Structure 1
Amino acid sequence: MLMEFFFPVFSDEQPYVICFDLRKELIFSLDTSAEVNNHHIGSNYNVLCDILRSLLANFLKTSNEDLSSASVSKSSVKVVDISWAYENNAVDAALYVMRHMETFEGDTSVEWNSGLMNATDHHIAILRMRYCSTIVMWEKNKYNEEVLKDASTTYGLELAENETRFDRLLIG
């Protein structure tokens, strides 16, 4: 049984993540906007968390996970203090959301290492390439062969018949 559920939220202001940790009966808000990390949290958080709590509890009930459903219903919201908060970075906001879902493990008693604290433009570019290559190379992506052929043509690379390494296209 899954014990953590991540919901990426794309609001008008800033995308962020809501994470339900059923073991701890907590709902974590992972939001890098400086406003949230200065604790100027609006009522929208509570409304959204109530909606997600209800939807997840209903889903778990219909999946015969009654104990988990009860845990969701009792969960309280905790805003995680994120030391790498930023004010206006709309370009990388979705990348931060993906990285938060990838690295957050629900333990706020120790320093959470998302790899974003001292990230340089080079580190961010590497993350972008990694996420893009994962999306393109995913076996369920019905366009991955087409994208690889276009990229191969564009960059003048000849791939072996069974070669599917996207990083070869990125690195050359």
Structure 2
Amino acid sequence: MANVMEALIGDERMLAYSLFSMEGYILDNVFDDGHGTIVPRKTMQSLSPGNPEIQKDRQARNINKQIDVLKGIINKDETSLKLRDVKLVFFPIIAHDHYYVIVFDLQKGSAVILDSSISDADYDGKYKKNIDFVKDLLVHYLIVSKHPYLDRMIKDAPAKVARMKWRTRDNKIDCGLYMMMHMEMYEGEIGLKWKTNILDEKNRQYGEQMKRMRMRYAAKILLHDVNKNSKMMSDFAIKFLNNDG
């Protein structure tokens, strides 16, 4: 799990600076896990500090198509046991150029919305359509896979909106970053009981923390062991540093 308080180490800083220099061909695949998950350079560059969006390349079109995608992902992983051992299911949402997360607790049959933004929009206007869509998607899959918790998920109950103390009103550009942090750090806690060390936007160290986390995530993704192109990116960073020096 990424630490939001620790300073960047040398490799993280070097990799992030080279990536955010905007050098290199934007369509180069800088991440490839060898199983069909690839990420072009331009998508990773969208993590650069000050960028208002984490790159969005695809939108949901219809439930059947998404079900096929979900089944394909799960069926490739023999350890997933068709979600039998999974408690929390995360759906990252992109709506009206805003990012947040919907989390379904299969054991409790409940859902929670992790949204970094404080807004005056009502629940129905901001969330209901997307909640209904992803719940239909999930329930449909649970039916297909004959999941033991299906009866818990078909209950018609609204999702709870988590009232995290670090939610923002003024920051309009880091919702994608928050989405990534929330997906990594959330383990089922609600609201004020959830401890993350994410600073309030009024804190004088807040801007530095957001910048650091963008750089940290870029480095963690690209230097991860599953990335077959990690050496390529490491070499690129070293070459960039030497040229810059």
Please confirm whether the aligned pair reaches a TM-score higher than 0.5, indicating the same fold: yes
The whole-number CA distance in structure 2 between the counterparts of 1:142 and 1:88 is 39
- Deviation, 1:134, is 1.5
2:152 to 49, 71, 90: 71
Structure 1 CA distance for aligned equivalents of residues 193 and 100 of structure 2? 19
**Pairs within 5 Å for 1:142-157:** 142-156=228-242
- State how far apart, in whole Å, the 2-side matches of 1:90 and 1:110 are: 22
Structure 1 residues 135 and 32, CA, compared in 2 at 3 Å: closer, same or farther?
same
Q: 2:162 — aligned with what?
A: 80
SS in 2 for 1:89: coil
Question: 1:133–1:75: structure 2 CA closer, same or farther, 3 Å change rule?
Answer: farther
Partner of 2:206: 120
Partner of 1:162: none
| Aligned residue identity for 1:97 | M
2:207 aligned partner, one-letter code: D
The CA RMSD over aligned residues, in Å, is 2.3
Query: Hey, what's the Cα distance between the residues in 2 that align with 1:151 and 1:99?
Result: 25
* CA shift for structure 1 position 29: 0.8
Instruction: Tell me the distance in 2 between the aligned counterparts of 1:136 and 1:34.
Output: 32
What is the TM-score when the length of structure 1 is the normalising length?
A: 0.77
Structure 2 segments unaligned to the other structure (5+ residues): 1-84
Q: CA deviation at 1:85?
A: 2.0
Kindly indicate whether residue 108 of structure 2 is the aligned counterpart of residue 24 of structure 1.
yes
C-alpha distance in 1, partners of 2:199/2:122? Answer: 22
Q: Within the alignment, does 1:134 sit opposite 2:216 as a pair? A: no
Is the CA contact (8 Å cut-off) linking 1:34 and 1:85 kept in structure 2?
Answer: yes
Deviation of residue 14 (structure 1)? Answer: 1.8
Per-residue CA deviation, residues 92-135 of structure 1 (Å, 9 max, x unaligned), is 22111111112222222752123223462232233222211121
Q: Would you say the 8 A contact 1:56–1:69 is kept in 2?
A: no
Q: Which amino acid aligns with 1:12?
A: H
Where in structure 1 do 4 or more consecutive aligned residues deviate above 6 Å?
none
Q: Does 1:14 align with 2:98?
A: yes
DSSP 3-state at the match of 1:74: coil
TM-score, normalising length: structure 2: 0.56
2: CA distance between counterparts of 1:129 and 1:39?
31
Partner Cα distance (1:71, 1:3) in 2:
12
Cα contact 1:28–1:80 (8 A) shared by 2: yes
Identity %: 27
Question: 5+ residue gaps in structure 1?
Answer: 158-172
Which of 130, 133, 140 aligns to 1:48? It is 130
- The Cα shift of 1:19 comes to 0.5
Contact in 2 for aligned 1:7/1:17 (Cα 8 Å): yes
Q: Summarize deviations over 1:13-64 as a string: whole Å, max 9, x none.
A: 42111000122221101112111xx563233412211111111112222223
**Cα distance, 1:75 vs structure 2:** 5.8
